[in-house]
A and B are shown apart, each in its own frame.
Chain A
Amino acid sequence: MKILVAVKRVIDYNVQIRVKDDGTGVVTDNVKMSTNPPDDNAIEEAVKIKESGKAKEVVAITIGDDKAQETVRKALAVGADRGIHVKVEGIIEPLAVSKILKKIVEKESPDLVFMGKQAIDDDCNQTGQMLAAILNWPQATFASKIDVKEKSLEVTREIDEGLETIEVNIPAIVTCDLRLNEPRYASLPNIMKAKKKPLEQLNASDLGVDTKARIEQIKVEEPPKRKAGIKVASVSELVQKLKNEAKVI
């Protein structure tokens, strides 16, 4: 079995996001970038399945500018066998990403495609679902546990009511939740070895995919500042204020 894992380079989750002065986006210059956290879980799960003997190969793919390669190298350092970098400049939307992934799936014919449930930069939560649709494959989203059966997967997903377990036939798309596993560290020897693993580079235009934006972004702005709280003297005053000022009851 072969698993393709999509990873994305995003602003590190510890960094405080700043909106650009002109409202066209967020500041990324001199900002620490990392792998999208649930993508780390996706890689970890794929590597674990390989270690259990149920998969033969794990291929990591990223789509982005040259620096996005760091994300693939990191995936290689924690156990992916080889990498693919599809080069595109600028921001591309989930639909274009899924179309590129579809091309790669056709080329690589993996049995499973894993990715994070959503990216922490745009929070779209669409790519996995769109890819499943255009490939006409089953999908299991927000996976917090994956059991690999002979020709199917048993996937547990966290939903509002509790845990839901579903079975999907292979080939399938799985989007991973942070609860799925604890990603391992990239050790120094493995980082060194990862530098020698194969990394194929492609251009989005060579794949014949139209990456043009479908969504017009009008403005990016910071959320309004939270006002300081006040102290009230009595319950009746609180009720008063909730009714008349906050207008929530």
Chain B
Amino acid sequence: MTREVMEYDVVIVGGGPSGLATAIKLKQLNSEINVCVLEKGAEIGSHILSGNVFETRALDELIPNWKELNSPVKTKVTKEKFLFLGKKKSLSWPTWLLPKVQQNHKNYIISLANLCRWLAEQAEALGVEIFPGFPASEVLYNEDGSVKGVVTQDMGLDKKGERKDSYEPGMELHAKVTVFSEGCRGHLGKNLIKKFDLSNGKNPQQYGIGFKEIWKLDEKNHQEGLVMHTAGWPLDNNTYGGSFIYHAENKEVYLGYVIGLDYKNPHLSPFDEFQRFKTHPAISKMLSGGKRISYGARALIEGGIQSLPRMYMPGALLIGCDAGTLNMPKIKGSHTAMKSGLIAAETIFEHLNDKKDLSIYEEKFKKSWVYEELYAARNVKPSFSWGLILGIIFTGIDQILFRGKLPFTLKHKHADHETLKPANEMPVIEYPKPDNVLTFDKTSSVYLTGTNHEDNQPVHLKLKDAELPIKYNLEKYDEPAQRYCPAGVYEVQIENEVPKFVINAQNCIHCKTCDIKEPSQNITWVTPEGSGGPKYGNM
């Protein structure tokens, strides 16, 4: 079967902050370059989920007059708080004692999904072609091994992979340069890192899972511009994580929780930790009289510079969190992702114009403020492998006294899928039942994401070994997929006293946690049919 082919100068895979920044910058440098952006979500922004307290540095460079262009960057941070939570009590940490990277007074509380929608409008006005609802399913290679482009997902395949009447073959998009900006754990990015050995000499990548809910608050509990973070309860000293609480516009609060995926206890359920967190008096008081209106979750990068793969390869660049440019101690990745996109555009411009090799990306990146930021931040996350208390003490010394300039670099020793201990060696955690006021179950939460996939299509969560979940995982780890998945995709059901592993792929919210945390790396996330997945609003 021959597929239709379209030729572009640049094809960008993923319409998030890094991909859209690349597209806009390319058109600014030369409006003749033809650029296309593929996005798997039904529209730009529908698969974007982020806190988000936004540092405008990269946006200032890209679109200096963003304030005049009705951008959705409006709510300035006016007040900050940091709380250590005990089970019932909380201790407020003075903001002047926070490392500078955690001070936000110049930043804005935004919805990253809305910022992306706005960036897409700017890009389209410059002539960028954006195609939402078209996931790139495979990478194409030239005979010399360089990246040639991508194929979009076939549509209209049934459960067995047979063609339905509505079958539409995917299309080949060829480009002089293909930019991969799929976000954390992009399924093509993951293959490219392996194929081109981009992580050679680097530490294993580190990830977290981030949850977010949007609540409409009672007026008296809302303080627009207030940014709050917490550490401590409900997590124990050995589990890395914390919360964010951002008071945004329209009486909304963006409430979320991030847990490092290097947690050790297979009984831990990140979703239930987040739900439980909301019952803390300091939080439940704020939420009383309010209403939850959105829910979502997404894996994020925590590895920093030690784990950052090489970002160029023949014919392609890997940018944003598809590579891993998030700044963990800053709890921010949008500005660094966008900057990595700006550098990509400059690199491609010189590559197309002056035939310069794409490897100039590396030099440009190392000279940029992103590298400087990530370098200074490098020791924070690994120090938390010693526990919360030692991590905080070390981070204080590293970030406040030495400003990230200590003459050594701590390592990430393990990949996240290697950290689980056998279930019988770890304490079982009893989570309280949801009260449907403050805390909820996964089903009612997923309902709020607007997630759907065409029912009759191949399952997009592939098992390398279909027996493994029951034969090995269930016995050794009590099958942790039941708990780490934030959408209840994986279930162990008992049928005639025999356990059976069930994958409810229709519920998948595309967070990629299973692809990361499965102890034997037995689950591979591939793209479902276009437009499938969540339909996030202002996440």
Asked if A and B bind, the verdict is: yes
Q: Which residues of A contact B (CB under 8 A)?
A: 12, 14-16, 18, 21, 29-32, 34, 182-185, 187-189, 191-192
Take A31-B537, A185-B168, A188-B134 as given contacts and tell me if A16 and B42 are in contact as well, using a CB distance cutoff of 8 Å. Answer: no
B469 close to chain A: CB less than 8 A: no
Given contacts A14-B535, A31-B537, A32-B46, contact A185 B451 (CB under 8 A): no
Give the docked Cα–Cα distance between A30 and B46 (Å): 10
Could you say which of A21, A29, A32 contacts B43, with CB atoms under 8 Å apart? Answer: A32
By a beta-carbon cutoff of 8 Å, the part of chain B in contact with chain A is 4, 6, 42-43, 46, 111, 113-114, 129, 131, 134, 152, 155-156, 164-166, 168, 171, 216, 293, 447-448, 450-452, 530, 535, 537-538
Cα of A21 to Cα of B251 in the assembled complex, Å: 11
Residues of A contacting B4 in the complex (Cβ-Cβ under 8 angstroms): 188-189
A16–B292 alpha-carbon span in the complex (Å)? 12
CB A66 to nearest CB in B, in angstroms, measures: 13
Chain B nearest CB, measured from A240 CB (Å): 28
Chain A contacts for B114, CB-based, 8 A: 30
A189 and B452 form a contact (CB under 8 A): no
Question: A184 to B134, alpha carbons, bound, how many Å?
Answer: 15
Q: 8 closest pairs, A vs B, by CB?
A: A30-B537, A30-B538, A32-B535, A14-B450, A185-B155, A14-B452, A185-B168, A188-B171
- Give chain A's interface secondary structure class: loop
Some 11 contacts from A to B, beta carbons below 8 A apart, are: A12-B450, A12-B535, A16-B448, A29-B537, A32-B535, A182-B166, A184-B166, A185-B168, A188-B4, A188-B131, A189-B4
Chain B residue at minimal CB-CB distance from A13: B452
Query: With the chains together, A14 CA to B509 CA distance in Å?
Result: 13
Q: Once the chains bind, are B171 and A14 in contact (CB under 8 Å)?
A: no
Neighbouring A residues of B131 by C-beta, 8 Å: 188, 191
Nearest to B530 among chain A residues (CB) is: A185
Report the nearest B residue to A191, measured CB to CB: B131
> Chain A contacts of B156 at CB under 8 A?
185
Q: Which residues of A contact B530 (CB under 8 A)?
A: 185
- The reply to whether A189 and B171 contact each other, CB–CB distance below 8 Å, is yes
Beta-carbon contact of B535 and A15 below 8 Å = yes
Name the CB-closest residue of B to A188: B171
Contact across chains for B448 and A32 when beta carbons are under 8 A apart: no
Determine the distance from Cα of A185 to Cα of B129 in the docked complex, in whole angstroms: 19
6 further contact pairs, Cβ within 8 A, besides A18-B293, A191-B131: A12-B450, A15-B450, A16-B448, A30-B111, A187-B168, A189-B171
Q: A14-B535, A32-B535 are in contact. Are A185 and B166 (CB under 8 A)?
A: yes
Cα–Cα distance between A83 and B216 once the two chains are bound (Å): 40
Q: A18 to nearest B CB, angstroms?
A: 6
**In the complex, A95→B169 CA distance in Å?**
42
Residues of B within 8 A of A188 (CB): 4, 6, 131, 134, 152, 171
Q: Which A residues are CB-close (under 8 A) to B113?
A: 30
A189–B155 alpha-carbon span in the complex (Å): 13
Docked Cα-Cα span, A30 to B537, in Å, equals 5
Does the CB pair A14–B451 fall under 8 Å?
yes
- Which partner residue on chain A sits nearest B38 by CB separation? A188
Output the least CB separation between A29 and chain B (Å). 8
Inter-chain contact B165/A182, CB cutoff 8 Å: yes
Identity of the chain A residue whose Cβ is nearest the Cβ of B46 in the assembled complex = A32
Chain B residues near A15: list those with CB within 8 A.
Answer: 450, 535, 537
A192 CB contacts on chain B under 8 angstroms: 6, 129
In the bound complex, what is the Cα–Cα distance between A183 and B452 (angstroms)?
A: 17
In the bound complex, residues from chain B placing their C-beta under 8 Å from that of A14 are 450-452, 535
Contacts of A32 in B (CB 8 A): 42-43, 46, 450, 535, 537
Max chain A C-beta neighbours (<10 A), residue from B42, B450, B530:
B450
Find chain B residues with CB under 8 A from A12 CB: 42, 450, 535
Tell whether, in the assembled complex, residue A189 and residue B6 are in contact, meaning their CB atoms are under 8 Å apart.
yes
**Complex formed: what's the CA distance from A14 to B131 in Å?**
20
- Check B171 against A187 for contact (C-beta < 8 Å): yes
* A184/B538 in contact, CB under 8 A: no
Please indicate the chain A residues that have their CB under 8 angstroms from the CB of B293 in the complex.
18
Q: How far is the CA of A133 from the CA of B11 in the complex (A)?
A: 52
A16 touches B43 (CB 8 A): no
**CA separation between A192 and B114, bound complex, in Å?**
25
Query: Which of A29, A30, A183: most chain B Cβ within 10 A?
Result: A30
Residues of B within 8 A of A34 (CB): 42
CB distance from A1 to the nearest CB of B (A): 24
Interface centre among A12, A21, A29, A188 (most CB of B within 10 A): A188
| Cα–Cα, bound, A14→B6 (Å) | 32
Q: Which residues of B contact A182 (CB under 8 A)?
A: 164-166
Q: How far is the CB of A194 from chain B (nearest CB, A)?
A: 12
**Alpha-carbon distance between A32 and B452 when the two chains are bound, in angstroms:** 13
What residue of chain A has the Cβ atom nearest to residue B293's Cβ?
A18
Closest to B453 in A: A14
| Nearest CB in chain B to that of A21: its residue | B216
Complexed CA–CA distance, A188 and B150 (Å)? 13
Whole-angstrom CA separation of A58 from B452 in the bound complex: 30
Q: Is the CB of B168 within 8 A of A16?
A: no
Minimal beta-carbon separation of A77 from chain B (angstroms): 11
- Chain A hits for B165, CB < 8 A: 182
What is the distance, in angstroms, from B508's C-beta to the closest C-beta of chain A?
Answer: 14
